Amino acid sequence: MSLSHEDVVRIIQLLDASHFDELSLEAEGVKLNLRRNGAGNSSAPTRTVAQPVAVEKATLTAQTTTPQTPLRDTAMHVGLIEVKAPMLGTFYGAPKPGSDPFVSPGTTVTKDTVIGIIEVMKLMNSVSAGVEGTVVETLVSDGDLVEFDQVLMRVRPA
């Protein structure tokens, strides 16, 4: 099978929802190049899609949402460590729907504490805190689309 029209449209929606101007994807014989207006130096059209070759169907289930805007009052965040998304995908704050979240404000975390899962093309990737301390605030909700390096939560170091 190959990527369907719906798959490509969904990938375009993810690019539009992100802060990136260009996306190049190459996996299992599929080459996909997307570019926003004005991105790069070439005179190529706004979006260029190469013909995919035979590959298993990949389905993206992320919901397109507006990225979180940073809080204006940074004085209240002095001394806090920001835990950022290591990749783009759908964030899940609980191991399964309806269960308690991995962490919430007030939870003490270690470097290895799992704070959530990011789903990318049906692959579930555990996200660790990477720091020791207490969760002060979470900035994303279950099912939110997150971008690479987007702040997921803030932690007061131990």
| Same domain? 31 vs 106 | no
Q: What is the pLDDT of residue 76?
A: 62
Q: Does 109 reside within a domain?
A: yes
112 or 42, which is more confident? 112
Q: Does 145 reside within a domain?
A: yes
Q: Which amino acid is at 155?
A: V
> How far is residue 105's CA from residue 10's CA, in Å, rounded to a whole number?
33
Q: Which amino acid is at 84?
A: K
Q: What is the pLDDT of residue 23?
A: 78
pLDDT digits over 73-125, tens only?
Answer: 455 667 899 999 999 999 999 999 889 999 999 999 999 999 999 999 888 99
| Same domain? 92 vs 22 | no
| Same domain? 81 vs 146 | yes
pLDDT tier, 31 (very low <50, low <70, confident <90, very high otherwise): confident
85 or 54, which is more confident? 85
HSE (side-chain half, CA atoms, 13 Å) at 2:
11
* Phi, psi of 12, deg, nearest 5: -65, -40
> How far is residue 64's CA from residue 147's CA, in Å, rounded to a whole number?
11
Q: What tokens were used for 65?
A: 């949402």
Instruction: Please state the rounded mean pLDDT for residues 38-59.
Output: 42
Tokens 């802060």, residue? 19
Domain total for the chain?
A: 2
| Same domain? 78 vs 145 | yes
| Same domain? 145 vs 78 | yes
Average pLDDT over the chain reads 76
Instruction: Judge whether residue 146 has pLDDT over 50.
Output: yes
Q: What tokens were used for 120?
A: 């990318």
Q: What is the pLDDT of residue 87?
A: 92
Bridge partner residues of 32 (DSSP): 25
Q: Which domain holds residue 110?
A: 74-157
Question: Most distant CA pair in the chain: distance in Å?
Answer: 53
Is this model's pTM higher than 0.85 or not? no
